[in-house]
Chain A
């Protein structure tokens, strides 16, 4: 894992696969929901990153 973004992408991908499988019945629904969760993870991370950008940390 070479970067923070790489780690969070791997985390989002693996969690999305599990969430997609256990929350939906049909394969297409599972794929759709998994993709939604994956993209949501990434967007939330980017958004939170920009919100924290001006903070003096």
Chain B
């Protein structure tokens, strides 16, 4: 692992990165408040962290990809998992819910509207479930990426 990849890597100084032949960019770390805003915003709305950091095209593409995957999952009759009861915290349902919650407000709104129950007998229900799970997990990765950008570790 590179030293710069460590969670304890310093983030208070600008870093020089060579990105091509004779091409160098300076990555300037954001303030802790902006880093937190990008991460929380990204958790609530996919791609919002990148938008807050000025990565417009990336943010829009990420937003469209994750939300489209979520919507396709619902359209394919996939089921969203609701939080487990206190007696069944150590269960597959907990992992399933963790993955589903990753899409942020979209999950809350869908559950709030009473949707997302899915149709278990549908031929595409398994595909839909997979789309919903992966959409949430991808958003967790996107938040990590926004964190790296805010810390000045990535362009």
A binding-site residues for B, Cβ under 8 Å:
1, 4, 7, 10-11, 14-15, 17-18, 21-22, 25-26
Partner of B65, one of A1, A7, A18, A25: A18
Are A18 and B62 in contact, with the CB atoms below 8 A?
Answer: yes
Known: A15-B138, A17-B65. A22 touches B145 (CB 8 A): yes
Known: A10-B72, A26-B20. A18 touches B138 (CB 8 A): yes
Closest to A26 in B: B19
How many A-B pairs with Cβ below 8 Å?
Answer: 46
Closest to A7 in B: B127
Are B69 and A14 in contact, with the CB atoms below 8 A?
Answer: yes
* Interface of chain A, main secondary structure: helix
Q: How far is the CA of A17 from the CA of B59 in the complex (A)?
A: 12
Q: How far is the CA of A25 from the CA of B19 in the complex (A)?
A: 8
Are B138 and A1 in contact, with the CB atoms below 8 A?
Answer: no
